[in-house]
Amino acid sequence: MSLTGVEAAKRLAAYAAVDRHIGLEHKLIGIGSGSTVPYVVDRIVQQGPKANAGRVFLPTGFQSKELIIKAGLALGDVDQYTRLDVTIDGADEVDSNLNSIKGGGACQLREKVLADMADTWVMVADYRKNSEVLGTNWKQGVPIEVVPFAYAQVLATLTKQGGTPTLRMGKAKAGPVVSDNGNFIIDAVFPKEQMLKPAELLVRIKLITGVVEVGLFTDLAKAAYFGNEDGSVTVRALGGKVEQIASVPDVPAIASA
Ligand SMILES: O=C[C@H](O)[C@H](O)[C@H](O)COP(=O)(O)O
């Protein structure tokens, strides 16, 4: 299918990441959430039935569960495994040290479990998500999953800690967004000086009673793939190396293996 702009960039990133990180030897694979991840599943399907025989795919939420089932791939459950070979997931913003904001779709809790479990965790996104400091392009704040009973107290504590938090409200539903785990989501904007140290901010937020998980992912990623408007892909790897992939083939090499 011919795609342009941001959608084409998402697909490039997803295809390049699958080509690099999902080989014939990888059998346990985590599938993340969001609008970029369907292209990850497309590329895995393109690898062919032989490559996918014996593989099991674990979802990070309702959306990716549906993607796996509709693609005809084998669905696994998180409590059957304690490790995964690879998880590929989207991101709302990634900084130059591969820290990221995630949870724009309220999936950060399950996403972080599958990131923790994976030997290799990589992110895929379009060029708008590639930045130096978190909060530069993603302005709606850090997504925080909270137990419904505690939300008012968590809002107050986040405000005391210098944040500007709001309870995320449903778009086609009256009342708050409810996560796949039955919890509420708070989005909290923090000043740049706090966003510059995401690992410290993560610990401060996570220690608030009533917080289940925070959409700040630190020290987890091996690489981030960003699709660009010119058809190239920028790869940021752990350790700071940045690479440009000029173009991505239409068909994955593994399909003919
Ligand atoms: O909760 C949602 C996830 O963290 C997504 O991976 C993130 O919001 C990125 O989604 P998209 O690929 O649609 O930009």
Domains of the chain: residue spans and CATH? 5-131+218-256 (3.40.50.1360), 142-215 (3.30.70.260)
Closest CA to 68 of 25, 37, 110: 37
- Contact of 85 with 118, CB cutoff 8 Å: yes
**Quick count: other Cβ atoms within 10 Å of Cβ 29?**
26
pLDDT > 60? residue 65: yes
Return the pLDDT at 4.
79
> Does the pLDDT value for residue 184 go beyond 90?
yes
Q: Is 104 in the pocket of ligand 1 (CB under 6 A)?
A: yes
Q: Own/partner pairs for 229-237, CB < 8 Å, 24+ apart?
A: 229/5, 229/8, 229/9, 229/127, 231/8, 231/12, 232/12, 233/12, 233/13, 233/16, 234/127, 234/130, 235/16, 235/20, 236/94, 236/96, 236/98, 236/130
Task: Give Dmax (Cα) for the chain.
Answer: 58
CA dist 212 and 89 (Å) reads 20
The H or E element that residue 15 is part of is helix 5-21
**Predicted local distance difference test score (pLDDT) of residue 3:** 82
Atom of ligand 1 nearest to the CA of 143: 1
Q: What does the pLDDT look like over 87-114, one tens digit per residue?
A: 999 999 999 999 999 999 999 999 999 9
Give the pLDDT score at 256: 59
Mean pLDDT of 201-205: 98
- The whole-number pLDDT of residue 73 equals 98
- Quick check: CB of 92 below 6 Å from ligand 1? yes
Q: Phi/psi of residue 222, each to 5°?
A: -90, -30
Q: What is the pLDDT of residue 255?
A: 83
38 in contact with ligand 1, CB cutoff 6 A? no
Q: What is the pLDDT of residue 251?
A: 92
Q: Verify whether residue 25 is a known catalytic residue.
A: no
The set of residues, in sequence order, having a beta carbon less than 8 Å from that of 178 and lying 6+ positions away, is: 170, 184
Return d(Cα 28, Cα 60) in angstroms, integer.
Answer: 14
Residue 114's pLDDT is 98
Tell me the pLDDT tens digit for each residue of 54-64.
999 999 999 99
pLDDT of res. 1: 72
Provide the mean pLDDT of the chain. Answer: 96
pLDDT for 83 beyond 90: yes
Q: What percent of the chain has pLDDT over 70?
A: 99
Return the pLDDT at 257.
56
Task: Say yes or no to pLDDT of 197 above 90.
Answer: yes
Per residue in 7-26, pLDDT tens?
A: 999 999 999 999 999 999 99
Indicate yes or no: pTM above 0.80: yes
- Left if phi > 0, otherwise alpha if psi is -120 to 50, otherwise beta: which for 200? alpha
Ligand 1 centroid – CA 117 distance (Å) = 19
| Token reading at 159 | 């405000």
126, containing H or E segment: strand 118-126
Please state the atom number of ligand 1 nearest to the C-alpha of residue 129: 14
What average pLDDT score do residues 112-128 get? Answer: 98
The vertex-145 CA angle with 144 and 148, nearest 5°, equals 125
Query: How far away, in angstroms, is 172 Cα from ligand 1 center?
Result: 19
